[in-house]
Amino acid sequence: MVIKNLYAIPFATLMECFLKAFEGYFVTMPADPEYYRERWKRAKVDYSLSYGMFDNEALVGFIIHAIDERNGHKTAFNTGTGVIPEYRGKRIVHSLYEHAIPELQKEGVSLCALEVITKNEKAIKAYEGIGFTITKRYKCYSGSFNVKTETSDYELEKVAASYFNWETIDQKVYSWDNHIETLQKGTYDYYVVSLQNKPIAYFIIDPKSGYVAQFDVFENDPPHWTRLFSAIQTLSENIRINNVDERLQSKVNYLDIIALKNTVDQFEMELSI
């Protein structure tokens, strides 16, 4: 078996291996190749720094890396790792990283990062064996919700991304796919919630899917949380939210209050190289 980068690999070949590797996964993965083409484009996937394990030209395992400057580090974010079932147990992910790390270092990458479902104990053990350590725990949510409020004293306004000063909105609390550097390359709508002409909250939503990529209040006041989700509810009563840092207790508490279902939890793991 040999390791090669994925730069010249047909996208259909990569997707065939990807979907086979994720059959029977902890969550159901989308099957539409265009979903991944667009998602990985937004995330800044670099196929020349992404790697596959090949057996007689057949792709049997892979690491897909997005590359960007984040929080002071040139980072390689693993946006997808998989090995097809018949090749598991052969330390393929370990071999891929052993090959990838020197190549990433040559390109100035100083940090590797990834997300892994907390129940995926085999994967966590494998990443820890490579040297990754857990740095965050994320909670994911989806479903319907109902915000009961007796007042509609707020104003909801759709704005351009440039409305916000992103330097004052902490992006370190957001995961790779929810970071503003990724979102600005997508087709998201940006909203500000105001009270008496003063902005009190904001959110970023995919109008087609109801995926809420970012949301927060500017002052941690319980009625502001209610106004924020009341505003979101006017656009979609079924939403999906991925990767809420569990240390953000006010966010987590309010999601519990509105009984939005916690579907899965993830770890973020990092490795300095």
How far apart are alpha carbons 132 and 125 in whole angstroms? 9
3-state secondary structure of 67: strand
Q: Looking at the predicted structure, is the pLDDT value of residue 149 above 90?
A: no
Q: What is the pLDDT of residue 146?
A: 82
**What is the mean predicted confidence (pLDDT) over 133-155?**
89
Q: Looking at the predicted structure, is the pLDDT value of residue 189 above 90?
A: yes
Mean pLDDT of the chain: 95
Give the residue from 167, 153, 228, 163 showing the smallest Cα distance to 195.
Answer: 153
% pLDDT > 90, the chain: 94
**What is the mean predicted confidence (pLDDT) over 189-193?**
98
How far apart are alpha carbons 179 and 184 in whole angstroms? 9
pLDDT digit string, tens, across residues 201-243: 999 999 999 999 999 999 999 999 999 999 999 999 899 999 9
Cβ(266)–Cβ(117) below 8 Å: yes
Q: Give the position of tokens 């008496």.
A: 196
Q: What is the pLDDT of residue 150?
A: 62
> Domains in the chain, ordered, with CATH?
2-131 (3.40.630.30), 141-263 (3.40.630)
Q: What is the pLDDT of residue 124?
A: 97
Q: What is the pLDDT of residue 259?
A: 92
Q: Looking at the predicted structure, is the pLDDT value of residue 151 above 90?
A: no
